[in-house]
Amino acid sequence: MPEREDPQVVLRGPTEGQAIDLHMGDRRAHITRKASRTETGGHWAIGEAWQDPGFDNPPHTHEEAEAFYVLEGSYTFYTGAAPAAGIGPGTFVFIPPGAVHGFRTGPGGGRLLCIWPSTVEAAFFGGHPGGPADR
């Protein structure tokens, strides 16, 4: 009978994780995945993202839930209704499956804690599952 591996705690510092740059026109987001879906039991990927001033993530949908926690800056979050402007630090945004959403950063840019479903993680990081090699 094969030996069972003990669960491993994931600890990543401020400069650790798998990083990518996402360009939208002349603006960019720097995204660092801190934990992959394989490290969270297949449920979520967790990351931190910094966006340039005026970075626009246009309205779109996913078949899975997604969430953000605003750490710095100001945002306008697009919703199925009117946009929610002036969203700042300490605000939690939960997006249920199928809901129209997106965001635009304010004049100072912004920083988010991101909780991604597997489909968003795959779009950003491809088929790479992440793990200890990304530390």
The secondary structure of 21-85, three-state, reads EEEECCEEEEEEEEECCCCCCCCCEEEEEEECCCCEEEEECCCCCEEEEEEEEEEEEECCCCCEE
Give residue 41's pLDDT.
82
pLDDT digits (tens, 9 = 90+) for 111-133: 999 998 877 777 767 754 454 33
CB 66 within 8 A of CB 101: yes
Residue entry with tokens 């026109």: 25
Give residue 21's pLDDT.
87
Give residue 6's pLDDT.
80
Tell me the domains of the chain and their CATH numbers. Answer: 18-126 (2.60.120.10)
Give residue 134's pLDDT.
37
And the tokens for 84? Answer: 């929610």
**pTM higher than the cut 0.85:** no
The DSSP letter of residue 102 is E
Digit-by-digit pLDDT tens for the chain (135 residues) are 667 778 788 899 988 998 888 888 899 989 898 988 888 887 788 999 999 999 999 999 888 889 999 999 999 999 888 899 999 999 999 999 999 999 999 999 999 999 988 777 777 677 544 543 333
pLDDT digits (tens, 9 = 90+) for 16-31: 998 888 888 899 989 8
Give residue 135's pLDDT.
33
